[in-house]
Homo-oligomer: A and B are copies of this chain.
Amino acid sequence: MSDVGGFWAVVPAGGAGTRLWPLSRAGRPKFLLDLTGEGRTLLQATVDRLAPLAADRVVVVTGTAHADAVRSQLPQVPRQRVVAEPSPRDSMAAIGLAAALVERSDPDAVVGSFAADHVVPDAGVFHDAVREAVDVARDGHLVTLGVEPTHPATGFGYIRAGDPVEGFPTALHALEFVEKPDAERAAAYLAAGGYRWNAGMFVVRAGTLLDLLAQWHPELSAGLRAVAEDPDRLPDVWPGLERIAIDHAVAEPAAAQGRVVVVPAPFAWDDVGDFAGLSGLVPGDGGPVTVVGDAADVSAVDAEGLVVAGSGRRVAVVGLEDVVVVDTPDALLVTTRERAQDVKAVVDALKAEGRTDLT
């Protein structure tokens, strides 16, 4: 199938996160890492996945500190399409700036925003969903891809879907975006049906996005369009822009106006939020210990879990169920999948110690 004319992929590449320490660090965010050991970083895999749809119409928005690394990982993306934010100003500014730049060069363009550090193993199903989303977006809707929940997650917001949108195979009207729920509420959403995870995947005409934004945040919208018109103004304009997430800035109020459509995303998706998540994404040999890196470096006896063999050393694990071992040249983590979220506490403590060399 040919690529989707007029479709531009926007890839926000930001946010270090601390739950994949010691693999990811402030200076080495997870999108720059080949976490699953398959030879491509999360960023590269994201752009690879989008290429059949967007060809070279890709804009990556990242922090100044990572722009060189992003460019070197993506030699196929023209340099000027890796946009460096002078400082982090949340997702609306990042995606909105990319949309404004795309709008300047192609006023009818549809942009689709896909985070640089998420994993979608089945590209084919992803492409089908995005193609439908682009078709719906051309009619002036803000389209979001809604991931079918596999468990009552409390770490994601949800989208409540309503009736089908006429003329499209799967699209549904989005009734509302709901914040990250507690466990009880999440279970209720799953039991009720009709709720999908908000994975932050938005597809919308660039002009529509900025026009919607102008309704509720006119200065932000105008600022982004001003920078797109004259990129030299970026350093002056950027620090004054409002810090707000795209969900709050546009998606929630637009849903209240009936402007949002959700296209079901019937594909596996993971935001690799911690080592428990990573564990499920690594293609293993079916053995009880999943290895990222060279399996020949790992000796496992009555052990079950995840080993990241990242230092070239021998890693031996004996008699542990549900163990996570992450071995890097300067730091070692031993935990369990169950406690994977608590790795953050180690990073917080290291920061408190002033160990910027390790965080």
Interface on A for B, CB 8 Å cutoff?
21-22, 299, 301-302, 313-320, 323, 325, 327, 329-336, 338-339, 342-343, 345-346, 349-350, 355, 358
Pair A316/B302 contact, Cβ less than 8 Å = no
CA gap between A333 and B318 in the complex, in Å:
8
* Chain B residue nearest in CB terms to A343: B318
CA gap between A350 and B297 in the complex, in Å:
11
Pair B358/A314 contact, Cβ less than 8 Å = yes
CA gap between A350 and B316 in the complex, in Å:
10
Given that A301-B345, A302-B339 are known contacts, is A334 also in contact with B358, CB under 8 Å in the complex?
no
A-B contacts, 29 listed (Cβ < 8 Å): A299-B346, A299-B350, A301-B346, A301-B349, A302-B339, A313-B329, A313-B330, A313-B331, A314-B331, A314-B332, A314-B358, A315-B331, A315-B332, A316-B331, A316-B334, A316-B335, A316-B343, A317-B334, A318-B335, A318-B336, A318-B339, A318-B342, A318-B345, A319-B339, A320-B323, A320-B334, A320-B335, A325-B334, A327-B332
Q: A302: which of B333, B342, B350 is its contact (CB, 8 Å)?
A: B342
When all copies of this chain in the complex are counted, the total is 2
Q: How far is the CB of A46 from chain B (nearest CB, A)?
A: 29
Given that A302-B339, A339-B302 are known contacts, is A334 also in contact with B318, CB under 8 Å in the complex?
yes
CA gap between A301 and B340 in the complex, in Å:
12
Chain B residues with CB below 8 A from A319, complex form: 335-336, 338-339, 342
Chain B residues with CB below 8 A from A22, complex form: 314, 316
CA gap between A144 and B178 in the complex, in Å:
76
* Chain B residue nearest in CB terms to A350: B299
CA gap between A325 and B324 in the complex, in Å:
12
Q: What 10 additional pairs, Cβ within 8 angstroms, besides A22-B316, A299-B350, A325-B334? A: A302-B339, A316-B334, A316-B343, A317-B335, A318-B339, A318-B346, A319-B339, A320-B336, A320-B339, A334-B334
> Chain B CB within 10 Å — which of A301, A302, A343 has the most?
A301
Given that A323-B334, A325-B334 are known contacts, is A346 also in contact with B316, CB under 8 Å in the complex?
yes
Q: A330: which of B314, B320, B330, B331 is its contact (CB, 8 Å)?
A: B314
CA gap between A313 and B334 in the complex, in Å:
13
CA gap between A257 and B319 in the complex, in Å:
46
CA gap between A137 and B302 in the complex, in Å:
49
Chain B residues with CB below 8 A from A329, complex form: 313
CA gap between A302 and B329 in the complex, in Å:
24
Q: How far is the CB of A274 from chain B (nearest CB, A)?
A: 11
Pair B332/A325 contact, Cβ less than 8 Å = yes
CA gap between A343 and B342 in the complex, in Å:
28
